[in-house]
Amino acid sequence: MYTNGNFCVRMYVEKNKILAYININMHFSSIWLDTLRADWRYMNSIKTIKQIPISERPYERCERYGAEYLSDAELLSVILRCGTKAKPSIDLARELLMIKEGNEGLCGLTKATMNELMKIKGIGKVKAIQILCVVELTKRLSKMSLKKGIMFNSPKSIADYFMQDMRNLDTEQITLVLLNSKNKMIKHIRLSKGTVNAALTTPREVFVCALKYEAVNIVILHNHPSGDPTPSKEDVKLTNRLLDTGRLIGINLIDHIIIGDNTYSSLKELELMWSGDERRYHDG
């Protein structure tokens, strides 16, 4: 804190950022202006991790306190290893976490493409590939914990397994899950990639795959990029067409699950899966 008569400047300094609260009731001398300018020049002179105080460096903080105490930006900066001449890795990491406007943070980073990553100064082809691989590893680790002893016998177990893969997709995509008679997964297949608000598939496409892999039961999943998993009329119509077709050929559609942003809807739980006779009853 600097004071001179009724002049008070309280400064809280972060790297490359100064929040100044200034109370001025009299003309202050050029000495104070020089002091403020010197502080500003000092903050702008910090260009590399080595110029950051040791206690604030991500590597040293991780070693001293553990990775769980690092912020998202600090963890990412450790993976990046280095920044540019004008920007240390911690600032580069913060910029990466802002890559998706309106969806900042790690969730936004999972949606970033290689081209989008490489548009950031300091992120070349190698760093972009490293980031994409780390994102994919986190998705697979999430699945590995669910794979142990998993049985697809409830909507929640299915939604949990596919949540991280589908919750951040920018367009609607349909995934077909093929199950045996005990509801253990044989295979899952991405059937189609649609638009922001529509994904297209047909009963023929679904059941050709189901017959090929000798599935007894199937589950359909698709995502809503808006984050709201509420089923549309088209979702209900598709579900019931698949339900009718499956009953004719002896393959059971046991659910249609819609993935939102860390939430889901099950048409089975919502009681929106009706056969032809049941639909006529409800329509009547």
Q: Tokens in use for 49?
A: 């991790």
The tens place of each residue's pLDDT in the chain, 284 residues long, gives 444 444 343 444 443 444 443 344 434 445 444 544 544 444 454 445 566 776 678 888 888 888 888 899 899 998 888 888 888 888 899 999 998 877 778 888 888 889 999 999 999 999 999 999 998 888 787 666 555 546 688 899 899 999 988 988 888 999 999 999 988 888 899 997 766 566 678 899 999 999 999 999 999 999 999 999 999 999 999 999 999 999 999 999 999 999 999 999 999 999 999 866 555 444 54
Give the pLDDT score at 25.
40
Domain 151-283 has CATH 3.40.140.10: yes
Give the pLDDT score at 232.
92
* 2-4 sheet: strands from edge to edge: 2-4, 7-14, 17-23
**All structural domains of the chain with their residue ranges:** 2-45, 54-143, 151-283
DSSP 204-242: HHHHHHHHHTT-SEEEEEEE-TTS--PPPHHHHHHHHHH
Question: Is pTM beyond 0.75 here?
Answer: no
Report which DSSP code applies to 55: G
Q: Give 132's Cβ-side CA count (13 Å radius).
A: 14
Give the chain's radius of gyration (CA, Å).
27
Give the pLDDT score at 153.
80
